[in-house]
């Protein structure tokens, strides 16, 4: 279980102190699929980076299964089972998909084992296992390979920051199917930062984050109707959904 207790995060902007996260409290239960949504600039990506250890809170504590990880590095958190997927996956010239999966799994996976992870994310393994993770791959292909590495790690907590960013409609539809399979297969927790209604629809819980704090948090069936029932939220979902199709 992940707990964020009274988390604040400040940055200095033109000699002024700006509070990005304000006394945020959040719990992500074991095995839960949680989507964090809300307006741009509300602190969603910052919260994800705080969990992963990319940023450090100005105040408050972060606990994983009761262990205080506030001061632990990205590497230490990764070793504890926290995975983070960026909006734009990193490309690795000279590193093959097989290499990347072996690094993620921390063992020398067989080609057959690597292929099973690629198949889980809807990729034809023989076409990808020996390909370099470089500019020859599309955004959708990179996203799915990145998810395959998360599966290979057997992570306790997987965090995805706007995974729909920069991918086409076909890739997005495939991505939804991948997350549905991941949701069914994983024994860990999943946290996704997203505006997309179709991702919100497969969540267990939805968190609405705005102005640096949690405004709503509850079961999908409770929170989603309140989002879709407001003109601003419905407009935002429609606009962002359209962007995902572009």
Check: CB of residue 240 under 8 Å from CB of residue 163: no
CA distance 160 to 191: 6
Run of H or E residues at 22: strand 16-28
Question: What is the reported pLDDT for 234?
Answer: 44
User: What's the pTM?
Assistant: 0.82
Higher pLDDT, 183 or 231: 183
Beta strands 189-193 and 33-37: pairing type?
A: parallel
At 37, which helix (H) or strand (E)? strand 33-37
pLDDT of residue 92: 81
pLDDT computed for residue 124 by the predictor = 83
Q: Is the pLDDT of residue 239 over 70?
A: no
Any idea which residue has 């199709």 for tokens? 245
Q: What is the per-residue pLDDT for 230?
A: 54
Short-list 40, 33, 241, CA closest to 157: 33
User: pLDDT per residue over 149-178, tens digit each?
Assistant: 888 887 789 999 988 877 777 677 777 888
């Amino acid at each position: 279980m992940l707990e964020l207790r009274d988390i604040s995060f400040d940055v200095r902007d033109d000699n002024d102190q700006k509070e990005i996260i304000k006394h945020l409290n959040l719990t992500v239960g074991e095995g839960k699929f949680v989507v964090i949504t809300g307006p741009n600039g509300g602190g969603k990506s910052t919260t994800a980076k705080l969990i992963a250890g990319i940023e450090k809170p100005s105040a408050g504590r972060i606990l994983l299964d009761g262990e205080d990880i506030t001061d632990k590095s990205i590497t230490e958190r990764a070793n504890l089972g926290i995975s983070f997927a960026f909006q734009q996956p990193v490309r690795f010239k000279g590193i093959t998909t097989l290499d990347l999966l072996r690094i993620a799994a921390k063992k020398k996976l067989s080609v057959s084992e690597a292929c099973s992870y690629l198949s889980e994310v809807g990729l034809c393994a023989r076409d990808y296992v020996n390909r370099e993770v470089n500019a020859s791959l599309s955004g959708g292909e990179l996203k799915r390979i990145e998810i395959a590495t998360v599966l290979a790690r057997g992570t306790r907590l997987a965090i995805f920051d706007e995974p729909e960013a920069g991918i086409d409609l076909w890739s997005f539809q495939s991505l939804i199917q991948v997350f549905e399979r991941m949701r069914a297969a994983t024994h860990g927790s999943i946290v996704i930062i997203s505006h997309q209604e179709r991702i919100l629809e497969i969540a267990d819980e939805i968190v609405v984050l705005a102005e640096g704090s949690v405004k709503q948090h509850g079961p999908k069936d409770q929170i989603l109707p309140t989002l879709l029932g407001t003109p601003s939220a419905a407009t935002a979902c429609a606009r962002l959904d359209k962007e995902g199709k572009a």
